[in-house]
Amino acid sequence: MAIQVTIGILALQGAFAEHHAAILRLSLPVRPVVVLVRTPEELAVCDGLIIPGGESTTIALLARLSGLLEPLREFVKIKPVWGTCAGAILLAQSVVGAKRGGQELLQGISISIARNGWGSQVESFEVPLHVEGMKDSETPFIGVFIRAPVVLELSRSSKDTPIQVLARLPAELLPPALSGLDDTDPKTIVALRQGHHLLTTFHPELTPDDRFHEYFVRHCVLSTI
């Protein structure tokens, strides 16, 4: 029997259309079905989920209004989720710099994260990244950072699944807000994996390079089916 895989993209706010296009471009032995998730019923059919960049507080509010917040928390416990930028904030265990009223989180990955850690939108930047385990890893992946969050701490306990760091910002390419850090500081981490969850603080969907999308489907989702 042929394997079928369904990738959901949370489509409440943010760059969900770009993720959709990237998944459709993939060339894999199993062609994913893509669902734009706006209801609990749509979430229920998914084998994995992408939470896009956008505005994390707005996404969380819309998820609550759509009846999706608690289903998302249950989904994160059992199925693969990839959070990019705002999605990375939602996946974190805790957040620093939340807006007034707080920030609802899914707490799927054992990290503490800070909103807008690189500064304002005018301080956005692009940088070549070397990503562990990625196809053609000798070819850098261009990370697009737009008001990106910053990983503050790996807060994994002894009971948690180990965290694998996939990519860091090279020390010589750190933006002014983080200058002076060495390459072991958690703040230099821009991509990581914990179990079947993936987190990137930048926007892979804003480039024509689909290797992160392939990595998520191949290594995080298909490995659980």
Distance CA 146, CA 133 (A): 24
Beta bridge partners of 199: 83, 192
Q: What is the DSSP pairing of strand 150-154 with strand 109-114?
A: antiparallel
195 is in an annotated binding site: no
Q: What share of the chain is helix, strand, coil (3-state, %, to 5)?
A: 30, 25, 40
Active-site residue identified among 20, 85, 214, 220 = 85
Q: Which of 19, 46, 104, 205 is catalytic?
A: 205
| 115 marked ligand binding residue | yes
Q: How far apart are CA 10 and CA 55, in angstroms?
A: 13
**Distance, CA of 64 to CA of 66 (rounded, Å):** 5
Structure token pair of residue 162:
């180990």
Answer yes or no: is 147 a known binding residue.
Answer: yes
| Residue type (1 letter), 84 | T
Q: How far apart are CA 160 and CA 156, in angstroms?
A: 6
Catalytic residue (one of 19, 197, 203, 213): 203
On whether 168 is known to bind a ligand per the annotation, the reply is no
- Whether residue 213 lies in the annotated active site: no
Our answer to whether residue 203 is catalytic in this structure is yes
Q: Which two tokens stand for residue 134?
A: 């990625």
163 is in an annotated binding site: no
Q: What is the DSSP letter of 217?
A: I
146 belongs to an annotated ligand binding site:
yes
Annotated binding site for L-glutamine: 54-56, 115, 146-147
Which residue ranges make up the annotated binding site?
54-56, 115, 146-147
For the annotated catalytic residues, the residue numbers are 85, 203, 205
